[in-house]
Amino acid sequence: MNKTRFGIFGCGVIAKTHAAVIKRIEDAELYACADISEKAALSFAENHSIKAFSSLDEMLESPDVDVISVCTPSGTHADIAIKILEADKNVILEKPMAIKTSDCDRIIEVAKKSKGKLTVISQMRTAPDIKKLKSLIDTGTLGKVLLVELNMNYYRDDEYYKGSWRGSKKMDGGGALMNQGIHGVDLIGYLVGKVAKVTSIVRTVAHDIEVEDMAVANLEFENGALGIITASTAVPPGFDRETKIYGTCGYAHLIETKLVRLIINGKEMPCEKFVSSGAATSNQFLDSSGHKRQIEDFIDVINGEELEYIDENEGKVPVELIERIYSSSI
C-alpha cells in the first residue's frame, strides 16, 4: 500500500509533535510544511529534511500531499480547514476545532460536500485507560453516573502569553477553558454525555490577557448527573488534571488520562502509577502517544476503514459547551 503523505501547516510548538509522530508511523510519510512565516517553514523543513511550500495554496495544489496537519493558532483553524476541505484534501485539525460554535458549523457544512475527511485532535480520548473507563460507563458497570468533578488547575507564567496569540480573544478565543481545558471538557462529554444546564463564573485574575485564567462551572447532564469544572492557568506551580466520576456501582479517579483509582461494587481494582508529563506547568508538550494513536486511526479512516473517529461533529461538542460556560458567567 502507498504511504499516506503529510503536509504540516503552521510550524510552531505542536507541529514538532506532529512531525515526530508522523515519522514514527510506518504507513505515513512526512512530505512538506508551510507557515505564514517563511523563516519558520524553511527552518522546519531543514530540520526534518522535507519540502517547504511558500503557502497553503501551493501545498493544496500539490498532488503529493494527502493530509494536512493544521498546527496554526486556534483563531485561524476554521478558515484554513474550510480551504483544505474545499480542495478535497484530508485535514488533521489541532484543537480547538474553532473558537466559535458558528465556525464549527461552517466547517461541518463544507465537510458534507468534500471528498476530504477531517479529524479534530483530542488525543486524550485515545488513551487506554480512557477507553476502558468509557466501556465501564457504557456497559453500566459503574452504574448510573451521579457526579463528575473535573479540576484543571494549570499554571502558565507571563512569558507564555507575552507577545503571543495566546491569551487573545481573536486568536485563542478563550484561555484556561478554550486552550488548556478543552481536553477535559471533551472527555467528560465523551464519557458522561450531553450537558443540559450550565452556570458559571469566569474571570481573569492573574495575567494581563483578554481571556479567562480562572473559571468554575456547574453542570447538569441530560442523564441527570451533576458536574463541577474548575479551570485555571493562574495557580502555581500547576496541578495535573483530575477527573472523578461517581456512579451508583463504582468510582473512577483519573489523573490526566491515567486511572489511579477504580472501585467497582465496593472492590478496589488494580491501577498503575501515574507519571506526570508536565503539561500542567508548561506548554512544551512531552507525551506524543495520543497524537500517534489518533493519527494512525485517521490514516485507516482515510483508507476506507469504518472506524469510530473524532470527526467534525465530535470536535464541535466541547467548543459549544465552553461557549455556553462563557455566556452563562455571572
Ligand X SMILES: NC(=O)c1ccc[n+]([C@@H]2O[C@H](COP(=O)([O-])OP(=O)(O)OC[C@H]3O[C@@H](n4cnc5c(N)ncnc54)[C@H](O)[C@@H]3O)[C@@H](O)[C@H]2O)c1
Check binding of 19 to ligand X (CB under 6 A). Answer: no
Among 95, 207, 258, 316, binds ligand X (CB under 6 A): 95
Closer CB to ligand X, residue 37 or residue 313?
37
Residue 88, phi-psi category: left (phi > 0), alpha (psi -120 to 50), beta (remainder): left
The torsion angles phi and psi of 146, rounded to 5 degrees, stand at: -105, -35
Q: Is 167 in the site for ligand X (CB under 6 A)?
A: no
- Per-residue x/- track, 115-154, ligand X (CB under 6 A): ------x-x-------------------------------
Least Cβ distance, residue 72 to ligand X (angstroms): 4
In degrees, to the nearest 5, what angle opens at C-alpha 327 toward C-alphas 207 and 191? 90
Site for ligand X in 251-290 (CB under 6 A): 283, 285
- Phi, psi (rounded to 5 degrees) for 212: -75, 145
Q: Which three cell numbers stand for residue 92?
A: 488533521
Residue whose cell numbers read 481545558: 181
Cα three-residue angle 90-94-96, rounded to 5 degrees? 120
Binding of ligand X by 103 (CB under 6 A): no
Smallest gap from residue 200 Cβ to ligand X (A): 21
Q: Work out whether 54 is an interface residue with ligand X (CB under 6 A).
A: no
Total of chain residues touching ligand X, rule CB under 6 A: 23
Asked whether position 173 contacts ligand X by CB under 6 A, the answer is: no
Residue 20 corresponds to which amino acid?
A
Separation of alpha carbons 47 and 56, rounded Å: 20
| Segment lying near ligand X (by CB under 6 A), choices 69-77, 138-146, 229-237, 310-318 | 69-77
| Binder of ligand X out of 74, 90, 119, 294 (CB under 6 A) | 74
Report, in Å, the least distance between residue 142 CB and ligand X. Answer: 27
Find the DSSP H helices in the chain: 13-24, 38-48, 56-61, 77-86, 101-113, 128-138, 158-161, 182-192, 289-302, 312-327
Footprint of ligand X (CB under 6 A) = 9-15, 35-37, 40, 71-74, 76, 94-95, 121, 123, 179, 283, 285
